Structure 1
Amino acid sequence: MLVDSSGMAAHAALSTLRLSYPDLLLVVLYLVAVTIFGLRFRSGDRSLKSYFLADQRIPWWAIALSIVAAETSTLTIISVPGVAYTGDWGFLQIVFGYLLGRIVVCFLFLPRYFRGELLTAYQVIGQRFGPRLHKLTAILFLFLRAAAEGVRVFAVSIVVGIAIGTPDIISIAIICALTLAYTLEGGMAAVIWTDVVQMILYLVGTIAGVLTLNRLIPGGWHAIHATAAGAGKLTIFHFAFHLSTAYTFWAGLIGGCFLTMASHGTDQLMVQRLLAARNLRESRLALLSSGLVILVQFVLFLAIGTGLYFFYSRFATGGAPSSADRVFPTFIVRQMPRGIAGMMVAAILAAAMSNLSAAVNSLSSSSMVDLYLQWKPAAGERHRIVASRVMTIFWAMLLFVLACVSRGDGHVVEVGLSIASVAYGALLGVFLLGTLSSETTESGAIVGMIGGFALNLFLWRQSRPIPLALGSIHIVLPIIAWTWFVVIGSLFTFALGWIASKLLPKAHRSR
């Protein structure tokens, strides 16, 4: 949970912030409307392909918007402006890496996913290596997605608590229950089409935030740009190479590329959407076009953060919120006109529901296909659908619990991404072994995966530089920034897996 440094005083101050009744009514109407819209896709699914891939009938543009909605959570909307508020536009360097990573995924991973009737990313690992690694990668994904999603779902309580005043648990429970309703009944079709609606809503809401700042600040964005540029707040590129600094050109381009290769190439949450496309060409088109939308979106988020810095440093009365992650939500409630404030809160809730529905559906599909059906391969289609729905309920309840116990001590966007980066390195390393090395064995890949995950876990928990002595050579291992986790973890997994395959008995060589 994000805790303000001012403790109870900050909480008391925030408790005075509430949306007006018309805005609250707008938020309630939105929640009801989007749930009813999602329930429209309720159908008697006859197969897992229908339930988890919407029979591969979704157009590419809808998948593109759904991808953006799935990777844009509440923590992104409230925390990325906070990054620009306290710093500059260096975060945009990572977005350039996101674009490069999408190109790699299109040509390295997607062709393999469209060879055969696949429902999850980890079935490719099973075909290439065998059942042990198939299950292990699926389990690692389940751990990764559940842990990261707990932080993301919790982020919504920051917004709801400021806007409405409900306790964290109540806020999270409302979002989880409504999202579960349409995800359970409508499957992947409901998830994607509600994502499209919610993506449009929070994009419009973000633009409304930009326009509101333009209205409140004398001179508008021209004045903001001139002042921010003079203060270095618009700096994008930092070319110094420091492993301990998250936002440099090299960390952004290389780290962002590897992070996207992992998140969009090995994470079932994204791969499931790409598999719902009609064919390989449309899947590639969806992924590449989503990158352009992401670029525009992050520019808007960072612009809002810069505008908020200018506003609170010169024009706001009562001072700025004590936490950067509360700056944008507080601005929405205090400064935005009636109707617009309600729409903005609804937009942030839309992001939360999009991300939660995506997570629940992907967790359900992977646990069903990669684990349950390995145990009960002869189960009939009716049994499979019922079991899938039970797993959907289970994962929704577990994410609710994890969100309630989430704790963080930095920008929540960085906490969420760093958790993901811990497991992504090992997952990506295994997929690269399966794609680029024909000599790797299943046992070797397992050794590499365990080693890569352990290394990333160590780097994540490292709290101070560590001095190392190699004979007369003395070096210091710095604290590694989260943007390098996937790069280091995947390369270490690949190298260790390849070496272990050479050393272990050849009887275990992969198929």
Structure 2
Amino acid sequence: MGTLDWIILSGTLLFIVVYGVWKTKGSKNVQDYVRGGNDAKWWTIGLSVMATQASAITFLSTPGQAFHDGMGFVQFYFGLPLAMVVICLVFVPIYHRLKVYTAYEFLENRFDLKTRSLAAVLFLIQRGLAAGITIYAPSIILSAVLGWDLRTLNIIIGALVIIYTVSGGTKAVSVTQKQQMFIIMGGMFITFFFILGYLPADITFSKAMKIAGASDKLEILNFDFDAKSRYTFWSGITGGFFLALSYFGTDQSQVQRYLSGKSIRESQLGLVFNGIFKIPMQFFILLVGVMVFVFYQYNPSPLNFNPAATKTVMDSPYAEDYKLLQEGHIELETQKKIAQNKFSVALELKEYAAIEDAKIQVMNLNKKDSTNRAAAKALIKQADEDTETNDKDYVFIHFILNNLPKGLIGLLLAVILSAAMSSTASELNALGTISALDLYKRNKKGPTSERHNVNASKVFTLIWGLLAILIACTASLFDNLIQLVNIIGSIFYGNVLGIFLLAFFFKFVKGNAVFFSALLTQALICVIYYFLIHIHPSGEEKLGYLWLNFIGAALVILISLVFEGFDRLLKNPDIKST
């Protein structure tokens, strides 16, 4: 990194913090601090909702996901637009009509205090863990690639977020997220066009897409009914739908974004904006990853993109074996470049037989490359079992640091850190609000003043910020980071969504049935995840984690109906089945 990169990086981050504090100073009551004074316009809500979901993990992991596995991950978001429609028609009007500060406040009105508290605690557990991960994700990768101290990075990111989030509350989060989204998407578009410019002169965008397609990177739709497949059309519109419905409808980090809307219409328009543009945004980010793949078809790439993993194996007794794999990797890259040129010429001549022959050759070479990389990962694991061998999260940052010009590197690093800050700010804002209003204020005896409640929210936000930093400092990298966040959410979200669906649509179900069924459901979901996804004896997942969202929601509803039926039967033995 050069001086210009440091100026752009530090200037961007400092601007976000100062702007957030300046624009939102003086929140004196809960209405201002938690709901942002209810003056947010739809575009602010829409951008804030998108920025909350689009953490640094999105911009680090998603391109690497596409580099290795292609565009299929976009199916994860297929259920989102439908979820936005349901939330606009059902959730938003109810929240606004009741003038609630949190989503779980509604549950006490509908059921009882213990159900509200349980849902709040489930939220605090999963979102508290996620807050640590959203700080840790960019820190672990930047520290490995740039040589920066990991704990120092965790503390810097966490401290910057704490400053303006504690100071300004919801409004500070919303106004800064607008700036962050412009920085993020601007940086990604600039990078995309730089990648295209770095391709050989005869490789147009259209030809680059055909090259990616020849390596199966453009397979977007998978209609396979296999439940083991993580990303299919069916898991997207079912599991993805329930995940989006629970995340945007019941997760306070998102609910708080649109509760700040000036009116129901503004909140609804903001969510519709997100529903329309979220899939194209994710598609574009994946496309950037695919173009990085095409770039490395013509340019040298490391055998493993994680420099820490490479150093580990090179300092071990397996160094010579790894060097042999590296030599094979270099030879394969030469062969791939020749094969891609052959494929390009065939496309120019429009000779079908030559195109198919070159395509088969490219696919075979990429399979060999995948086998070689898998062998490298096995050697790294033999050298040190604790070293992370999965390098998906390092692909994009490797490309940025080794190929982009000075200045743009600083901008892209600012993109990554801005995304980490925007997502973490929403999480800390929500965690502080839930802790202060759903647990502390609701269970504290005696009345409390507005100033006391605002100060309590600030204190809890600060506490959760410090806890998030602590979690980040003690976390360890897990497979692909964007998947980890979604897995954590899937374990808890389905259950919480089921509670809300019972509240909305099953008016005869009472609090006791919901409370005990939610406890049982959460235990069952943890068991299902542990045995069918995490450590199945065969070594492979027997169930895609997205299905946990549907299963959790269905279980809590069914078990509640059973409990409520038994309760009514015990209270009135004369009831006869029909």
Normalization by structure 1: what TM-score?
0.91
Instruction: Note the 1:360-399 alignment, pairs <5 A.
Output: 360-376=428-444, 378-399=447-468
Aligned residue among 271, 281, 284 for 1:297: 281
Matched, 1:255 2:239: yes
User: Is the deviation greater in 314-323 or in 496-505?
Assistant: 314-323
1:464 CA displacement: 4.7
Instruction: Note the 1:4-43 alignment, pairs <5 A.
Output: 19-43=1-25
Name 1:139's counterpart in structure 2: 121
Matched, 1:77 2:43: no
Name 2:133's counterpart in structure 1: 151
Matched, 1:283 2:231: no
Partner Cα distance (1:493, 1:44) in 2: 43
Partner Cα distance (1:398, 1:121) in 2: 23
Instruction: Note the aligned Cα RMSD (angstroms).
Output: 1.9
Matched, 1:107 2:75: no
Partner Cα distance (1:347, 1:492) in 2: 40
Task: Provide, for residues 345-375 of structure 1, a one-character-per-residue CA deviation record: whole Å limited to 9, x for no partner.
Answer: 1011110000111011000111111011112
Task: Say if 2:78 and 2:233, in contact at 8 Å, map to a contact too.
Answer: no
Partner Cα distance (2:277, 2:489) in 1: 22
Given the superposition, is the C-alpha separation of residues 201 and 478 from structure 1 closer, same or farther in structure 2, using an over 3 Å criterion?
Answer: closer
Give 3-state SS (helix, strand or coil) of 1:166's partner.
coil
Provide structure 1 residue ranges, at least 5 long, that are not aligned to the other structure: 1-18, 468-476
Task: Provide, for residues 260-317 of structure 1, a one-character-per-residue CA deviation record: whole Å limited to 9, x for no partner.
Answer: 1000001001001111001111111100101222122111111111111122233135
Give 3-state SS (helix, strand or coil) of 1:233's partner.
coil
Task: Say if 2:17 and 2:160, in contact at 8 Å, map to a contact too.
Answer: yes
Name 2:76's counterpart in structure 1: 94
Partner Cα distance (1:338, 1:491) in 2: 52
Which one has the largest radius of gyration?
A: 2
Partner Cα distance (1:78, 1:221) in 2: 23
Task: Say if 1:443 and 1:508, in contact at 8 Å, map to a contact too.
Answer: no
Partner Cα distance (1:461, 1:317) in 2: 36
Task: Provide, for residues 211-269 of structure 1, a one-character-per-residue CA deviation record: whole Å limited to 9, x for no partner.
Answer: 11101111142232011112221011111111111111100111111111000001001
Task: Say if 1:441 and 1:501, in contact at 8 Å, map to a contact too.
Answer: yes
Matched, 1:353 2:421: yes
Give 3-state SS (helix, strand or coil) of 1:374's partner.
helix
Amino acid at match of 2:521: G
Given the superposition, is the C-alpha separation of residues 403 and 176 from structure 1 closer, same or farther in structure 2, using an over 3 Å criterion?
Answer: same
Name 1:334's counterpart in structure 2: 402
Task: Provide, for residues 415-442 of structure 1, a one-character-per-residue CA deviation record: whole Å limited to 9, x for no partner.
Answer: 1110011110110010011111011111
Task: Provide, for residues 179-218 of structure 1, a one-character-per-residue CA deviation record: whole Å limited to 9, x for no partner.
Answer: 1111111111111010000011000111112111101111
Name 2:496's counterpart in structure 1: 427
Task: Say if 1:101 and 1:256, in contact at 8 Å, map to a contact too.
Answer: no
Provide structure 2 residue ranges, at least 5 long, that are not aligned to the other structure: 307-390, 573-578
1:508 CA displacement: 10
Name 2:543's counterpart in structure 1: 480
Matched, 1:344 2:407: no
Q: How many residues align?
A: 482
Partner Cα distance (1:166, 1:230) in 2: 38
Task: Say if 2:95 and 2:259, in contact at 8 Å, map to a contact too.
Answer: yes
Task: Say if 1:52 and 1:119, in contact at 8 Å, map to a contact too.
Answer: yes
The percent of aligned pairs where both chains have the same amino acid is 29
Aligned residue among 468, 483, 486 for 1:414: 483
Amino acid at match of 2:258: L
Task: Provide, for residues 382-429 of structure 1, a one-character-per-residue CA deviation record: whole Å limited to 9, x for no partner.
Answer: 211211111111010001111122224311100111001111011001
User: Is the deviation greater in 60-69 or in 24-33?
Assistant: 24-33
Give 3-state SS (helix, strand or coil) of 1:368's partner.
helix
Task: Say if 1:442 and 1:508, in contact at 8 Å, map to a contact too.
Answer: no
Amino acid at match of 1:99: P
Task: Say if 1:195 and 1:354, in contact at 8 Å, map to a contact too.
Answer: yes
Aligned residue among 21, 36, 54 for 1:54: 36
Name 1:494's counterpart in structure 2: 557
Task: Provide, for residues 127-148 of structure 1, a one-character-per-residue CA deviation record: whole Å limited to 9, x for no partner.
Answer: 0001110111111111110012
Partner Cα distance (2:184, 2:20) in 1: 17
Query: Which structure shows the bigger proportion of residues in helix conformation?
Result: 2
Task: Say if 1:198 and 1:354, in contact at 8 Å, map to a contact too.
Answer: yes
Partner Cα distance (2:216, 2:541) in 1: 27
Matched, 1:118 2:186: no
Amino acid at match of 1:345: L
Task: Provide, for residues 27-52 of structure 1, a one-character-per-residue CA deviation record: whole Å limited to 9, x for no partner.
Answer: 11112111111111243322111101
Partner Cα distance (1:102, 1:237) in 2: 22
1:478 CA displacement: 6.4
Partner Cα distance (1:314, 1:495) in 2: 55
Partner Cα distance (1:291, 1:170) in 2: 37
Name 2:150's counterpart in structure 1: 168
Partner Cα distance (2:110, 2:439) in 1: 17
Task: Say if 1:254 and 1:487, in contact at 8 Å, map to a contact too.
Answer: yes
